[in-house]
């Protein structure tokens, strides 16, 4: 062994690198091919030596790994992890993957009847029911959502009982219980079952095992607010506010906003002001700012209203500018990105937020402008100046237009026109809006030339403005050029298919042109949009009547009176249609209903009186003719009808008195004198001679007058003139009850024309909301 020890010679003390070329011969790999012991170890399994009692010792005297020394085999620990085991020493084959052991045993089959598996499946079913309930609620099926929530609650209670039997109470899934109860309370509230919802919320809030359950008192406050129990709502809001830590700033602000709204509903404006002022100083938002203005308006504090309005317009919107969506270059990649985000959900949300801000500002300005200064005009001017200095510069023009509308409401048309004329030199959008309103105003005043001029200005400023095109069509319609009016209405519909005014007016235009099928198609389309519009229903019935389809006309008029049951014109039209069909009983019913709602329609009164005469109830006809005489006191025929009814019913004395009264009012009425002579003769009165003399004189005068008229016609050779009558001499009247008379005709049929709605159908209401 000492032969491998090298001592440094004394002469080489300074040689620091001596001995580095010396190595142990055991590490010499060049002679391994000639080493018989090594080659034998390779050929045997796992390096086992051939049967020999001798062993090869290493150069350091360490036994070789896996060798047999003194009859004991040393374990091969260094290679056990790779699959080498003792079995290899006994002649087993090399099998590191254990393939000789055969296939793996089959998986253990789950026992579906085990309590743990039943609990697991039941818990999964409860979760599915909760999800289905939430989905049904989001789809608007509130009843199904409630049923699913109740089913989830029942199954969750069964699950809790089974868990308690198998495991300890600590293993109960509290999160699942909380979810089930919270969903059930929410569905109760959505179905307006507020008592059940409050009870369920109480179960959650009182359970100390639920963390942060106190926040649900906000929901309870909301329910009390819906029930108009404002004191309890404020109480629960404050309790929830106390349990929410200050780090949850946004949640606390929302609760304080609810408290302020509740104070407004109770009329406690000072408390509401405190809440909204705190919000505006901490985290200002549009709703709080608008509600603060309302509160100051309620208490009448002008200066605070101004300050609150200034705070409102400074609330940050936190949206991107419109310039972001305009491509700065011709880079195709940039253009694609901008095109993709131009109308995505985020952009739509930004538009909605901006629209909401503009709505709040416009409403607040319209509310405070009349009260913050001595006149509403000065107040509007102040609001306009404040808005111009803010980020809402474009709203200043809208406020000016609202100023003009306020003048209109005060019947100051001149000031309204002057205000709108100020916009003639503005940009195209504002100019078009102002010109549209001016055109509308002049149209209402029947100044069609001015209306047409401003309609042209509006159309030229914005060719895609459907209101301007509709007004232009209205002016052309008023001049009788229906074909050209239809073209303008069609163009308005192409620009905005939801422009109901243009669709209605084009239906009227086709009706004027006697293109009834096209008119009917327009009105039916409009009916699909405006389901309960009385004007549309009336026009559909009118078109069917013109198409000589009374059954369809009656059906649509029935729909009309279901919308406006007190419309006397629709009821009388129904009576007229039933009368033309020969159904007198139905006609009487609707005529009578029309008379009840509007007892001054002469046509209805005349029909009812004639109906009672036909049915031999002359006494009942008297009241209708008396009312007609009150409505038209200069028309002698109604008073003669009253006298005839008295005579026909056998009340000759009353008839005589009525004829005498008529003779005093209309001494030149021939028919009245004839019946006076007849009645006096029948009764045997002395005045008969007096009335007979007057009758002969009037008949002689009448004969002379007719001869003069005839001779004048013959001498002039002109066309035959129409015989003129007077109030005192109604020669066109013939007593329907006299022996020489025919039964009178019913009231003249009056169709439901578009003129009945002249103020609504062509006037395009263009005033902003």
The model's pLDDT over 63-103, given as tens digits with 9 standing for 90+, comes to 455 454 555 555 555 545 555 555 545 555 666 666 666 67
What three-state secondary structure class fits 376?
helix
Residue 110: the pLDDT is 61
How many residues comprise the chain?
A: 769
Cα-flanking dihedrals φ and ψ of residue 63, to 5°? -65, 145
Residue 715: the pLDDT is 60
The helix (H) or strand (E) run that includes residue 17 is none
Distance CA 424, CA 453 (A): 13
Average pLDDT of span 473-484: 92
Q: What is the DSSP string of 40-91?
A: HHHHSGGGPPPS-S--PBPTTSPBPTT-EETTEEPP-GGGGGGT--GGGGGT
Distance CA 94, CA 83 (A): 8
Distances (CA, A) of 509 to 20, 440, 506, 515, 581: 116, 19, 5, 9, 29
* Exposure b/e, 526-555, CB count within 10 A at least 16 = b: bbeeeeebbbbbbbbbbbbbeeeebeebbe
- 599 Cβ contact partners less than 8 Å away, ≥ 6 residues apart: 605, 627
Distance CA 447, CA 453 (A): 10
Average pLDDT of span 467-472: 91
Residue 97: the pLDDT is 67
Average pLDDT of span 531-549: 92
Read off the tokens for 679. Answer: 């009645």
Residue 77: the pLDDT is 53
pLDDT band at 681 (very low <50, low <70, confident <90, very high): confident
DSSP E strands, 588-696: none
Residue 579 has pLDDT above 70, yes or no: yes
* Exposure b/e, 250-284, CB count within 10 A at least 16 = b: eebbbbbbbbbbbbbeeebbebbbbbbbebbeeeb
Residue 213: the pLDDT is 84
Nearest to 561 by CA among 317, 569, 90: 569
Residue 100: the pLDDT is 65
What three-state secondary structure class fits 527?
helix
Residue 195 has pLDDT above 90, yes or no: yes
Residue 27: the pLDDT is 61
Distance CA 619, CA 639 (A): 14
Q: Which residue has the higher pLDDT, 46 or 422?
A: 422
| Conformational region of residue 45, where left means phi above 0, alpha means psi within -120 to 50, and beta covers everything else | beta
Distance CA 524, CA 571 (A): 22
Answer for the pair 516, 483: CB distance below 8 angstroms, yes or no.
no
pLDDT band at 3 (very low <50, low <70, confident <90, very high): very low
Residue 32 has pLDDT above 60, yes or no: yes
Residue 729: the pLDDT is 34
Distance CA 578, CA 375 (A): 57
Percent of the chain with pLDDT over 90: 36
Residue 52 has pLDDT above 50, yes or no: no
């Amino acid at each position: 062994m000492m032969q491998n020890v090298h001592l440094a010679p004394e002469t080489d003390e300074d040689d620091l690198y001596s001995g580095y070329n010396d190595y142990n011969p055991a590490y010499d790999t060049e002679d391994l091919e000639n080493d018989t012991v090594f080659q034998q170890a390779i050929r045997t399994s796992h390096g086992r030596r051939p049967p020999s009692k001798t062993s090869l010792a290493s150069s350091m005297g360490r036994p070789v790994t896996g060798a047999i020394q003194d009859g004991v085999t040393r374990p091969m620990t260094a290679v056990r992890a790779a699959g080498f085991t003792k079995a290899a020493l006994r002649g087993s084959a090399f099998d590191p993957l254990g393939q000789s052991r055969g296939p793996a045993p089959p998986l253990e089959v789950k026992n579906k009847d085990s309590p743990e598996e039943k609990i697991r499946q039941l818990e999964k079913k409860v979760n599915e029911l909760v999800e289905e309930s939430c989905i049904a609620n989001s789809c608007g099926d509130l009843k199904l959502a409630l049923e699913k929530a109740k089913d989830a609650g029942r199954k969750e209670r069964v699950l809790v009982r089974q868990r308690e039997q198998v495991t300890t109470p600590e293993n109960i899934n509290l999160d699942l219980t909380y979810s089930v109860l919270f969903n059930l309370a929410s569905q109760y509230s959505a179905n307006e079952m507020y008592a059940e919802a409050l009870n369920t919320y109480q179960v959650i809030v009182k359970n100390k095992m639920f963390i942060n359950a106190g926040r649900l008192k906000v929901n309870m406050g909301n329910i009390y607010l819906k029930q108009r129990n404002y004191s309890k709502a404020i109480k629960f809001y404050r309790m929830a506010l106390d349990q929410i830590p200050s780090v949850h700033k946004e949640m606390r602000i929302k609760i304080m906003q609810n408290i302020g709204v509740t104070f407004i509903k109770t009329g406690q404006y000072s408390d509401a002001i405190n809440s909204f002022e705190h919000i505006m100083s901490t985290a200002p938002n549009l709703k709080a700012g608008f509600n603060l203005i309302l509160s100051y308006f309620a208490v009448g504090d002008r200066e605070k209203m101004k300050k609150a309005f200034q705070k409102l317009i400074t609330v940050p919107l936190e949206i991107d500018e419109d310039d972001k969506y305009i491509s700065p270059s011709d880079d195709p990649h940039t253009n694609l990105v901008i095109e993709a985000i131009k109308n995505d959900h985020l952009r739509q949300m930004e538009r909605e937020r901006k629209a909401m801000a503009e709505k709040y500002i416009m409403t607040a300005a319209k509310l405070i402008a009349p009260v913050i200064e001595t006149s509403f005009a000065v107040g509007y001017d102040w609001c306009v100046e404040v808005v111009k200095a803010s980020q809402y510069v474009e709203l200043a023009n809208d406020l000016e237009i609202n100023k003009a509308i306020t003048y209109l409401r005060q019947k100051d048309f001149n000031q309204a026109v002057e205000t709108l004329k100020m916009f003639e030199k503005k940009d195209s959008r504002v100019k078009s809006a102002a010109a549209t309103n001016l055109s509308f105003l002049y149209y209402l005043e029947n100044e069609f030339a001015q209306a047409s001029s401003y309609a042209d200005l509006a159309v030229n400023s914005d060719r895609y403005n459907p209101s301007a095109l509709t007004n232009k069509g209205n002016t052309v319609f008023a001049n009788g050029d229906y074909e050209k009016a239809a073209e303008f209405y069609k163009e308005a519909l192409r620009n905005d298919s939801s422009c109901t005014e243009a669709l209605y007016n084009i239906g009227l235009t086709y009706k004027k042109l006697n293109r009834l099928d096209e008119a009917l198609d327009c009105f039916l389309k409009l009916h699909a949009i405006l389901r309960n519009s009385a004007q549309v229903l009336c026009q559909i019935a009118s078109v069917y009547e013109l198409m000589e389809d009374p059954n369809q006309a009656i059906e649509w008029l029935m729909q009309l009176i279901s919308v406006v049951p007190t419309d006397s014109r629709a009821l009388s039209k129904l009576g007229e249609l039933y009368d033309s069909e020969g159904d007198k009983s139905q006609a009487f019913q609707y005529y009578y209903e029309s008379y009840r709602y509007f007892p001054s329609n002469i046509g209805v009164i005349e029909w009812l009186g004639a109906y009672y005469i036909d049915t031999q109830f002359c006494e009942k006809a008297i009241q209708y003719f008396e009312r007609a005489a009150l409505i038209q006191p200069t028309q002698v025929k109604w008073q003669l009808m009253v006298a005839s009814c008295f005579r026909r019913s056998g009340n000759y004395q009353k008839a005589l008195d009525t004829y005498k009264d008529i003779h005093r009012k209309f001494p030149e009425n021939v028919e009245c004198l004839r019946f006076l002579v007849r009645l006096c003769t029948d009764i045997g009165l002395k005045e008969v001679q007096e009335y007979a003399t007057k009758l002969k004189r009037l008949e002689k005068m009448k004969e002379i007058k007719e001869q003069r008229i005839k001779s004048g016609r013959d001498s002039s050779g002109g066309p035959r003139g129409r015989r003129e009558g007077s109030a005192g001499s109604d020669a066109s009247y013939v007593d329907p009850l006299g022996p020489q008379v025919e039964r009178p005709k019913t009231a003249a049929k009056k169709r439901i024309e578009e003129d009945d709605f002249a103020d609504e159908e062509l006037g395009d209401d263009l005033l902003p909301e």
